[in-house]
């Protein structure tokens, strides 16, 4: 029988791996939602239960096919996101890719930090130590950054032709991350996550994507003056 504490740990991790991600993605467009706030929240609650179910299935019943749960999870919130916001498709895609890169960094960096502080727990999946680090060390600072820096920038940006290609910036960095993750010389995903070099690499991806975006945004603003 599955211990209750493990079910709770996995559910908490599943929520922390979904709700902050979705909140960050919706925050810049909170005034341009397709549905009312109540309906949007209800849909997010339903998706949260789906995420917890997928997490439990991946942990206990997947039979080595946990990657399938990740694919389904990603598909669910991507479809919901594009339906939920009424903005230029390129701008929505740009935001989703930027936040996705950030989420990848949060997961990798959290596991790396967990490996330094709680080495015995770090080799296990979805433990409380992992969730605690994700919440306190990484998600909270990212929320502050998004609210004070990223959201105002996106809200001020025009919705013209530039969004047809701006999404290529985070997409390029995402592909770099994807290649690095799966071209890891036979290392398991856990070994890759515990590698400090991987966390640093993801940090540079996010910083680099942000710098490139703001440089282009400044050039666009200058041209419109």
Q: Which of 44-53, 115-124, 210-219 has the lowest mean pLDDT?
A: 210-219
**Span 156-178, pLDDT tens digits:** 555 556 677 777 877 887 777 66
Query: The tokens of 220 are what?
Result: 């666009």
Q: Which of 44-58, 96-110, 196-210 has the lowest mean pLDDT?
A: 196-210
Query: The tokens of 15 are what?
Result: 């929520």
DSSP state for residue 29 in the 8-state scheme: G
pLDDT at site 46: 94
SS3 category, 94: helix
pLDDT at site 122: 79
In whole angstroms, give the CA distance from residue 56 to residue 126.
10
pLDDT at site 25: 84
**Span 81-99, pLDDT tens digits:** 999 998 888 888 888 887 7
Among residues 160, 23, 180, which one has the least CA distance to residue 89? 160
Residues in the chain: 225
pLDDT surpassing 70 at residue 125: yes
Q: The whole model's pTM is what?
A: 0.76
Residues 59, 62, 65: CA angle, nearest 5 degrees: 110
Query: The tokens of 24 are what?
Result: 């960050």
pLDDT at site 123: 79
**Span 130-145, pLDDT tens digits:** 888 888 776 777 777 7
In whole angstroms, give the CA distance from residue 93 to residue 84.
13
pLDDT at site 191: 63
């Amino acid at each position: 029988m599955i211990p209750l504490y493990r079910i709770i740990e996995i559910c908490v991790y599943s929520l922390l791996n979904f709700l902050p991600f979705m909140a960050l993605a919706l925050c810049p467009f909170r005034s341009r939602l397709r549905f009312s706030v109540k309906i949007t929240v209800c849909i997010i609650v339903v998706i949260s239960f789906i995420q917890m179910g997928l997490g439990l299935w991946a942990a206990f019943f997947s039979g080595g096919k946990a990657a399938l749960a990740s694919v389904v999870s990603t598909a669910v919130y991507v479809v919901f996101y594009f339906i939920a916001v009424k903005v230029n498709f390129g701008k929505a895609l740009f935001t989703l890719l930027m936040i996705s890169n950030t989420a990848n960094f949060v997961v990798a960096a959290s596991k790396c930090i967990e490996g330094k502080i709680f080495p015995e727990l770090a080799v296990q999946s979805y433990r409380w130590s992992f969730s605690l680090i994700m919440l306190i060390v990484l998600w909270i600072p990212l929320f502050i950054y998004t609210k004070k820096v990223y959201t105002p920038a996106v809200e001020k940006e025009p919705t013209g032709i530039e969004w047809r290609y701006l999404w290529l910036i985070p997409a390029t960095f995402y592909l770099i991350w994807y290649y690095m993750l799966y071209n890891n010389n036979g290392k398991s995903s856990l070994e890759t996550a515990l590698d400090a070099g991987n966390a640093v690499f993801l940090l540079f991806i996010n910083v680099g994507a942000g710098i490139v975006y703001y440089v282009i945004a400044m050039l666009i603003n200058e041209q419109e003056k």
